Structure 1
Amino acid sequence: MSASPLTVRVLQHGKYETVAMLRNGEQLVLAIVLPMLALAAIAVTPFFDVLGVPRLGTGTPGVIALCVLSTAFTGQGIATGFDRRYGVLRFLSTTPLGRSGLILGKILAVGAVLALQLVVICTTAVLLGWEPPLTGVLPALLMLIPGIGAFTALGLLIAGTLRPEATLAVTNLAWVLLAAVGGTIIPRSTLPDAIEPIVAILPSAALGDGLRAALTSGTFDFLSFALLSGWAVVVGLAAVRWFKWS
């Protein structure tokens, strides 16, 4: 019996991964609760006022970037690391799915869960008074495509090369650093001059900058899109090349 076409295999694996993520309580905390807490903190604290920028106008795109970081990078990295430890990936290696199919399926699952996150976060932000320009919706969605690809591939690269315990430590530490000073919630332009040039080349800053440009002024940030796309291609190829099933 011949294997199903790659498209069918990827779609089926994406469906499986989506259901698994939605049934995982820890994943849902990363996906919904933490970004909601960040949004509430932005809405009720004067921190962004000190930066001289609108609270929800600048903060909400940062929270959306944080959702991508949480779901695509940390969530997938940790889940895949432990799947590798307990032999789930070794079983998948015996199927026609392949590394490319595994990565593409996980990217589809991240996209499906992120769609749910966007509905919850954006609805809450609008109820709190956020008024994004409608012309920025399409540029924001376009910016999310390479963002999801880059962070999913980065999470899988770490999970596929390090031990599960190390993956847990590295992804959580990276999440904290990127959320705090990586240009996601806090715009990189407000960071100290000593670290701003370094942060500027990170995918987290590119995603944050691109989403803020789209959802505050309705413009498409081509430079951020190009940087994110470059990260997605390079890290994606690295994950396909060095990912280990066991």
Structure 2
Amino acid sequence: MTTPTAPSVPSGPATSAQRWLAQTRFETATILGHGEQLLVALVLPVLALVGMALTDVPDLGPGRRIDVATAGVLALAVVSTAFTGQAIATGFDRRQGVLRFLGVGPLGREGLIAGKLGAVGLVILVQLVVLGGVAAVLGWRPEPAGVLPALVTVGLGAAAFLALAMLLAGTVRAEGVLALANLVWVLLLGLGILLPTDRLPDGVAGLARVLPSGALGDGMRLALVEGGWPLAQWLVLAGWTLAAGLGAARWFRWSD
């Protein structure tokens, strides 16, 4: 007669990396399982891509229209996930007391940010595949030399807009976050995301180029349409990441 063995017991507490990976899985499942976030992250960008590809408005400037439109829509996808979705979700988590419990638990501030950044990266990867597939059907042919700088631009853009999302969600009440995040999303469409900054009036164009929206959109177009390295745009995005990150670290409140 065999002696029953006791169930295995973990040898110790989870490591920081394990906690961060678990939070990443949780955040990713939350985004992909939330209908409103999927609407902003995938449905609206797909509609924007098809609409811009099949019409002649707005004027997107030189280059094949589908190529310029796709670069802008990929930038829109980054903003939708890293900024709008995360700002709203984090703002309501703060109001409901979820962040307070996470902040004082083993996960900590660093784990929460790492989990959100990882989830944003995974969801953006899904967006790039889906939107790239739709664009390819519509005739998109990216410049091969620009694929690597485009990926770097996506990473820097995601970091900048996630930092801005944390700053907004950590300092404004949830209802205000909801209104502001959606308003900013709409305004940024014409400030360099879908519409190139060189298509804007001179005064507005100068402002758009120093905004993270203009840097991200122009950077994606420079990379994917012209095959260039958007070094100036990277500096703008890095500056916004640093400024918003420091602001969030200073003023972020874990509960209302």
Structure 1 match to 2:207: 198
Q: Are residue 58 (structure 1) and residue 68 (structure 2) matched?
A: yes
Higher mean alpha-carbon deviation, 33-42 vs 192-201, is at: 192-201
| Alpha-carbon distance between aligned partners in 2 of 1:199 and 1:31, rounded to the nearest angstrom | 23
| 1:79-118 correspondence to structure 2 within 5 Å | 79-118=89-128
| 1:203-222 correspondence to structure 2 within 5 Å | 203-222=212-231
Structure 2 match to 1:150: 160
Structure 2 match to 1:243: 252
| Alpha-carbon distance between aligned partners in 1 of 2:160 and 2:59, rounded to the nearest angstrom | 31
- Share of identical aligned residues, percent? 50
Structure 2 match to 1:77: 87
1:65·1:208 contact (CA, 8 Å) conserved in 2?
Answer: yes
Q: What TM-score do you get using the length of structure 2 for normalisation?
A: 0.91
Structure 2 match to 1:10: 20
| Alpha-carbon distance between aligned partners in 1 of 2:58 and 2:142, rounded to the nearest angstrom | 17
1:61·1:212 contact (CA, 8 Å) conserved in 2?
Answer: yes
Secondary structure of 1:93's counterpart equals helix
Q: Deviations over 1:84-130 (max 9, x none)?
A: 11111111122132223212211110110010010110111011011
| 1:115-134 correspondence to structure 2 within 5 Å | 115-134=125-144
2:60·2:69 contact (CA, 8 Å) conserved in 1?
Answer: no
Note closer, same or farther for the CA distance 1:218–1:50 as it changes in structure 2 (3 Å cut).
Answer: closer
| Alpha-carbon distance between aligned partners in 2 of 1:84 and 1:53, rounded to the nearest angstrom | 45
Higher mean alpha-carbon deviation, 136-145 vs 1-10, is at: 1-10
RMSD (CA atoms): 1.6
Structure 2 match to 1:138: 148
2:63·2:225 contact (CA, 8 Å) conserved in 1?
Answer: no
Q: Name which one, 1 or 2, has greater alpha-carbon Rg.
A: 2
Q: Are residue 189 (structure 1) and residue 232 (structure 2) matched?
A: no
| Alpha-carbon distance between aligned partners in 2 of 1:31 and 1:47, rounded to the nearest angstrom | 23
Q: What TM-score do you get using the length of structure 1 for normalisation?
A: 0.95
Partner amino acid for 2:145? T
**Structure 2 gaps, min length 5:** 1-10
Structure 1 match to 2:175: 165
Partner amino acid for 2:70? T
Among 237, 241, 247, which residue is 1:228 paired with? 237
Partner amino acid for 1:218? G
2:59·2:199 contact (CA, 8 Å) conserved in 1?
Answer: no
Partner amino acid for 1:233? L
| Alpha-carbon distance between aligned partners in 2 of 1:188 and 1:39, rounded to the nearest angstrom | 18
Tell me the CA shift for residue 3 of structure 1: 5.9
Note closer, same or farther for the CA distance 1:187–1:50 as it changes in structure 2 (3 Å cut).
Answer: closer
Higher mean alpha-carbon deviation, 123-132 vs 89-98, is at: 89-98
Tell me the CA shift for residue 207 of structure 1: 0.6
